[in-house]
Amino acid sequence: MSDVFHIVPAGSRTASMLIPVIGLLFAILVGVGVMLGLSVRGSRTSTFTVDAQGLRISGDLYGRQVAASAIRGEGVRVVDMRREQKLQPALRTMGTALPGYQAGWFRLENGEKALLYLTSREQAVYVPTTLGYSVIMSADRPEEMAARLRAVGSAK
């Protein structure tokens, strides 16, 4: 003959305190997953549009419009980030740093604040602005984009 013994139930207050904690942890996990998903998508679908109004960055969390009047056209150039030590990201202040993709706000080695959209370091377009930051992007036609940005930024 066997006897069965049951656990004394935890007080309802103890158990009910765990539910909000578990809910909060779940919400944080979902939020991180969504942010990671948006970043991965942005590494493949971000676009840079240059027109008479300026530069429009779309497809990621950090997208924005940089007015033509804020682009310092004379300073726009194509850079090799591997060789330009002063332009290396030194500190991520608000952004994504995945293998092969950096996007968001960074401090550069030279102390400058920069909005990065980097998937390739060989030929990136460096765009200084009058807004207190620069933009550095990996574009599919960097020389053409830099020439267009120089023209837009100089036509103020």
Span 56-81, mean pLDDT? Answer: 91
- pLDDT for residue 151 is more than 80: yes
Helix (H) or strand (E) segment spanning residue 53: none
Average pLDDT, the chain: 87
- pLDDT for residue 61 is more than 80: no
- pLDDT for residue 33 is more than 80: no
129 DSSP assignment: B
Across 14-23, 66-75, 114-123, 144-153, least confident range: 14-23
**Of the candidates 78, 124, 85, the residue with the CA atom closest to the CA atom of residue 101:** 124
How many angstroms separate the Cα of 47 from the Cα of each of 41, 44, 64? Answer: 12, 9, 11
- pLDDT for residue 150 is more than 90: yes
Across 36-45, 50-59, 87-96, least confident range: 36-45
pLDDT band at 14 (very low <50, low <70, confident <90, very high): low
**Of the candidates 27, 39, 45, 134, the residue with the CA atom closest to the CA atom of residue 95:** 39
- pLDDT for residue 42 is more than 80: no
Helix H, strand E, coil C: the string for 94-124 is EEEEECCEEEEEEEECCCCEEEEEECCCCCE
Residues 6+ apart with CB under 8 A from 143: 78, 123
User: How far is the C-alpha of 124 from the C-alpha of 9, rounded, in Å?
Assistant: 63
pLDDT band at 123 (very low <50, low <70, confident <90, very high): very high
- pLDDT for residue 15 is more than 80: no
- pLDDT for residue 94 is more than 90: no
